[in-house]
């Protein structure tokens, strides 16, 4: 099993460190060739508009879309969740997400006052107590389709969801020093 972390922009290094700590062979993905060799992909947080442009210049957009159509396990965090969603509000007009996650997502929805914050989450089925989650200019998931399982909520909004082999969070699980969410992603989608 080899995991890849999309390494065009954003918090990709930290995801790699978590996956390394879990003993998973991990590479940074910047080219279609690197994408071809992986069995699961993490799309990190960062800036979804910038990442979107870099998907085009790197030639990765269509190869990733194709792997997602073929059910590549994927974990999108924050900007990564925005890139997976099928309905993005307050995006740039030319912002085109992959559209594989049945969710309506509003970018930067917490406003400047609450741009970044931490919260303790009760994650369904996660042993070992609550998960301290770091939110950074996070999106808000306003609605999800029937196929989407909500694994954690904050203030009445889904913040960790699963749809088949797609995992997505509005927070940055790689910044908590807690490996459990990545572990859950790997164990649930790789079996």
Chain residues binding ligand GLN by CB under 6 A are: 45-48, 78-79, 82, 107-108, 136-137
Taking the complex as a whole, the smallest distance from the CB of residue 91 to ligand GLN amounts, in Å, to: 8
Angle between helices 180-189 and 12-21 (to 10 degrees): 70
- The residue among 115, 123, 137, 148 whose CA lies nearest residue 45 is 137
Taking the complex as a whole, the smallest distance from the CB of residue 151 to ligand GLN amounts, in Å, to: 19
Question: Which token pair is 91?
Answer: 């995006």
Question: Which token pair is 49?
Answer: 């508009």
Measured CA to CA, the distance from residue 35 to residue 29 in angstroms comes to: 6
CB 140 within 8 A of CB 124: no
Q: Which of 174, 182, 183, 188 is catalytic?
A: 174
Whether 172 is a known active-site residue: answer yes
Quick one: 165 or 172, whose CB is closer to ligand GLN? 172
- Please list the helix, strand and coil fractions of the chain in percent, rounded to the nearest 5, in that order: 30, 35, 40
Whether 78 is a known active-site residue: answer yes
Whether 149 is a known active-site residue: answer no
Quick one: 134 or 150, whose CB is closer to ligand GLN? 134
Taking the complex as a whole, the smallest distance from the CB of residue 62 to ligand GLN amounts, in Å, to: 21
Quick one: 39 or 108, whose CB is closer to ligand GLN? 108
Q: Which of 14, 15, 78, 154 is catalytic?
A: 78
Residue 15 CA from chain centroid, whole number: 10
Quick one: 121 or 128, whose CB is closer to ligand GLN? 121
Q: What does DSSP say about strands 157-163 and 149-154: parallel, antiparallel, or unpaired?
A: antiparallel
Active site (catalytic) residues? 78, 172, 174
């Amino acid at each position: 099993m080899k995991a890849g972390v999309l390494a065009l922009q954003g918090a990709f290094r930290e995801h790699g460190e978590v996956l390394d700590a879990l003993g998973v062979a991990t590479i940074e993905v910047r080219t279609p060739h690197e994408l071809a060799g992986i069995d699961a992909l993490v799309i990190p947080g960062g800036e979804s508009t910038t990442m979107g442009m870099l998907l085009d210049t790197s030639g990765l957009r269509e190869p990733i879309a194709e792997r997602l159509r073929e059910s590549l396990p994927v974990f999108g965090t924050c900007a990564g969740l925005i890139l997976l969603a099928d309905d993005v509000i307050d995006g740039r007009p030319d912002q085109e997400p992959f559209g594989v996650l049945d969710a309506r997502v509003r970018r930067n929805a917490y406003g400047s006052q609450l741009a970044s914050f931490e919260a303790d989450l009760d994650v369904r089925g996660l042993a070992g107590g609550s998960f301290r989650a770091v939110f950074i200019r996070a999106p808000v998931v306003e609605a999800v389709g029937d196929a989407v399982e909500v694994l954690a909520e904050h203030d009445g909004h889904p913040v960790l969801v699963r749809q088949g082999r797609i995992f997505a969070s509005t927070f940055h699980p790689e910044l908590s020093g807690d490996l459990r969410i990545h572990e859950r992603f790997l164990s649930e989608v790789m079996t």
